[in-house]
Amino acid sequence: MQKYFLTTPIYYVNDKPHIGHAYTTILADTISRYRKLVGDTSFFLTGLDEHGLKVQQAAEKNSKSPQDHCDGMTPAFLNLWKELNIDYDDFIRTTEQRHIEVVQHILSEVNNSGDIYIDEYEGWYSVSEERFITEKEVDSGQFGDVKKLKEKNYFFKMSKYQEELINKIQNDELKIQPESRKNEVLSFLKNNLSDLCISRPKSRLEWGIELPFDKDYVTYVWFDALINYISSIGFSKDSDKFKECWPADVHLIGKDILTTHAVYWPTMLMSIGLPLPKRIFAHGWWLTDSKKMSKSLGNVVSPLALIDDFGVDAVRYYLMSDMVLGMDATFSSQSFEKKYNSDLANDFGNLVSRISKLIENNFDSKIPNFSSNESDLSENYEHIKLSNNLEELKIDKIINDIMNFIRSINIYMEKNEPWKLVKVDKEKAGNVLYHCAESLRLAAILLSPIMPKKTEKILENLGCSDKSLKWGKLLPNSSLKTSEPIFPRIN
């Protein structure tokens, strides 16, 4: 059976992960959980990018061998994913043998097919980007430390696939989203595409995968890293597993790594003769004080500190609801607290307490009976557009729909006043409260991919283990448990 295969970028191990890295991983986790909720099987891959100059330099700085440095950094990522409740299906490190073998296999194949040649090249080299850059890029001044370099290297015939790539992007065979990023790639492809330098002489950089056809060179880190998306799922080794997953349904990336994913990667796949991923989605950046959050600017927010202060589900909720997918978003503790108090403490948390209290006090903590299946709420529930928004990866919209539904439960309570009704018509009051409790159950299930822990608690308190998204699965007469406020206010 075909799986919904989704990936995050693999993160460089030159530094500890921050909110920007956590964001993509939570996004992938959320999408994967939503896929499972609607009945799909999904396969969610993440991992680490361990080769290249940046990692070699970080290791030198710590007086460690690169491998020791990578082994030492890995727990920081694994621990954060555990704290963030990330339920990935595979975690790949590019120093693993299973990856190295596939990279070397592909290099040999591409070389045998005539798509690799050796050439002496003189040009501008960007140290931070670890690649040769064009005159135009030098002039842009965006590439920091730049030097002239003359070197013999191996080149991949990327230019050969330019026309085919343009066609596939134009007709959405490879869908690049949002539309603005698709246009960005197409306008980049209006210029003649150069071939890609895919080697680094060991005399300059040792930390990489050795070229199978020249032991004096290692593989360019991007040519190595991108292959993780297929080495992890058994390309050239386990054809059943590979067929279940490839082509990927979506590569989730940040907007700064668009060209590598939308140009290098597809042309590599064309050369190997593999289908292209169905979709690449480039999200925006998390900014602090209008600048991209990054270690070098010293403005990073630590996800672990936030989890300590507010709990993991609140962090997941904030990151998923506050970024309109595709756009940049600004992180600030004020906006975090505001969102937490208004959405989670007020709208959702208070409602849970209010409904539980009313059932506890008037119905002996038993879910009341309903006399009708219809209400404003069962109707409102139908307005939540989960499938369409999930297909478009609009997680912020999904949350918005659910929160509107939750607000409509509050409105329904105000309109029907079950606390007064119970004194004159207990059956009617019971019906109202049943509809409220059933709506809470559905809201909790719908929010479970975002906040797995808190929603589990709510469902447990409702005494309901049925995770069905069908209206009316909450059983009358089942026992309700009350607990401390689910989302205590932050002052």
Supply the minimum distance, in Å, between the C-beta of residue 254 and ligand MSP.
2
Site string for ligand MSP, 270-299 (x = CB under 6 A): ---------------xx-----xxx-----
Residues 39-78 close enough to bind ligand MSP by CB under 6 A: 49
Encode 141-202 in three state secondary structure: CCCCCEEEEEEEEEEECHHHHHHHHHHHHHCCCCEEECHHHHHHHHHHCCCCCCCEECEEEC
Q: Does 450 bind ligand MSP (CB under 6 A)?
A: no
Q: Does 91 bind ligand MSP (CB under 6 A)?
A: no
Best CA proximity match to 364, nearest among 280, 408, 295, 426: 426
Q: Among 178, 254, 326, 368, which residue interacts with ligand MSP (rule: CB under 6 A)?
A: 254
Cα gap 461→353, rounded to integer Å: 11
List C-alpha distances in Å: 169 to 205, 279, 296, 360: 34, 10, 34, 58
Q: Does 398 bind ligand MSP (CB under 6 A)?
A: no
The number of C-alpha atoms within 13 Å of 182 and in the hemisphere containing its C-beta is 17
Residues 223-252 close enough to bind ligand MSP by CB under 6 A: 225-226, 228
Site string for ligand MSP, 472-491 (x = CB under 6 A): --------------------
**Count of residues engaged in binding ligand MSP, rule: CB under 6 A:** 21
Residue 147 neighbours by CB under 8 Å, 6+ apart: 124, 125, 127
Q: Among 9, 326, 349, 449, which residue interacts with ligand MSP (rule: CB under 6 A)?
A: 9
For residues 144 and 130, the answer to whether their CB atoms sit within 8 Å is no
Which residues, in sequence order, are bridge partners of residue 118?
A: 154
Supply the minimum distance, in Å, between the C-beta of residue 90 and ligand MSP.
14
Q: Which lies closer to ligand MSP via its Cβ, residue 24 or residue 461?
A: 24
Look at the block and give the residue holding tokens 């009313």.
Answer: 358
Reduced to 3 states, what is the DSSP secondary structure of residue 448? Answer: coil
Q: Does 315 bind ligand MSP (CB under 6 A)?
A: no
Question: For ligand MSP, which residue has the nearest CB?
Answer: 254
Paired tokens of 239: 């054809």
What beta strand segments (E) does 57-159 contain?
A: 90-93, 116-126, 131-133, 146-156
Q: Among 179, 206, 256, 364, which residue interacts with ligand MSP (rule: CB under 6 A)?
A: 256
Q: Does 263 bind ligand MSP (CB under 6 A)?
A: no
The single-letter DSSP state of residue 475 is: P
Supply the minimum distance, in Å, between the C-beta of residue 264 and ligand MSP.
10
Supply the minimum distance, in Å, between the C-beta of residue 221 and ligand MSP.
8
Supply the minimum distance, in Å, between the C-beta of residue 109 and ligand MSP.
19
Tell me how far apart the terminal alpha carbons of the chain are, to the nearest angstrom: 50
Q: Does 23 bind ligand MSP (CB under 6 A)?
A: yes
Residues that bind ligand MSP (CB under 6 A): 9-12, 20-21, 23-24, 49, 225-226, 228, 253-254, 256-257, 285-286, 292-294
